[in-house]
Structure 1
Amino acid sequence: MQILVQNSQLSDLDIIFQFYDLAVAYQKKVFNKHWQDFSKELVEIEIAEKRQYKILVDGAVACVFAVTFNDQLIWGDRDHDAIYIHRIVTHPDYRGLSFVKEIITWAKAYAAENQLKYIRMDTWADNEKLLAYYTSCGFDYVGISNMEKTEGLPKHYEGISLSLFEIKVG
């Protein structure tokens, strides 16, 4: 099995949104919160800026994720020297292949090449199963961010609390 992390292309837009729809359906089944719609423009910008990625397994898209390099509204004063991972979605046919660990391996190399000190991510503060999973993947839990200002973030960030995770690189 060949696993490859690549930048997404505009031609992947439909697949990315199919994955988001699958993720929302899954979230509704297993948790009391779910993502709201993402704008096509947001994802197009991420693709143009080379911040939207896909994981291929033997040539097929198995997972998608996005990154950013600043996350002031979520991380506040700690927003520096980091790559932030967002919206990891694994296609149901590929669950169990530990793509978060694959993304961490990729992000460590990216961070080292770009002199970044942290790999960071967030999730709903009350999603115990996901919190345990992220720490089992090597992330340190570093606290909670209560979302008050959310202008510019997707709608599902309004009025929520997020658990924050990071891996110190190097």
Structure 2
Amino acid sequence: MWGDKNKDPSIYIHRIATNPDFRGQNLVKKLIHWANEYGNNKGLKYIRMDTVGLDTGLIGHYEKLGFEFLGTKRIEDANGLPEHNHWGEVCYFQKAII
């Protein structure tokens, strides 16, 4: 999914979903905090996420959490990847571990 960038020492977060009963509890923010601590302890450089579909609200939400929106790309060979990766453009996000 990340091509040559897979060589960078990073932690990847995939498929964030929140049960509606737990919305509003800042669970994604807590997940990012955990990922930053874990990555820092392991000597990693980045927290990376990707999501399928161009959702400007979601892009803004991740940017507010400190992620840089790296742009979109259609995966040319999605064989072997989960079904949702065949649906369209993938948005890429990256945050430096501090």
User: When the two structures are superposed, what TM-score results if normalisation uses the length of structure 1?
Assistant: 0.54
C-alpha separation in 1, matches of 2:87 and 2:15: 19
| Partner residue, 1:149 | 77
**Contact 1:123 / 1:131 at 8 angstroms: preserved in 2?**
no
Q: Paired residue for 1:75?
A: 2
Asked which structure has the greater CA Rg, the reply is: 1
Which runs of 5 or more residues in structure 1 are unaligned? Answer: 1-73
**Partner Cα distance (1:114, 1:152) in 2:** 28
Q: Contact 2:52–2:85 at 8 Å: present in 1 too?
A: no
Q: Give distance in 2, aligned partners of 1:121 and 1:93.
A: 24
Structure ranking higher on relative contact order (CA contacts 8 Å, 6+ apart)? 2
TM-score by length of 2: 0.90
Greater than 4 Å deviation, 4+ residue runs = none
1:51-70 aligned within 5 A: none
Could you tell me how far apart the structure 1 residues matched to 2:78 and 2:41 are? 31
Count of aligned residue pairs for this structure pair: 97
Pairwise mapping of residues 25-40 of structure 1 onto structure 2 (< 5 A)? none
Name the residue aligned to 2:48: 120
Q: Which runs of 5+ in 2 are unaligned?
A: none
Please tell me whether the aligned partners of residues 52 and 84 of structure 2 are also in contact (alpha carbons under 8 angstroms): no
> Alignment identity in percent?
40
Are 2:23 and 1:95 equivalent residues in the alignment?
yes
CA distance in 2, matches of 1:96, 1:122: 22
Tell me the equivalent position of 1:39: none
Aligned counterparts of 1:75 and 1:125: Cα–Cα separation in 2: 16
Compute the RMSD of aligned alpha carbons.
Answer: 1.3
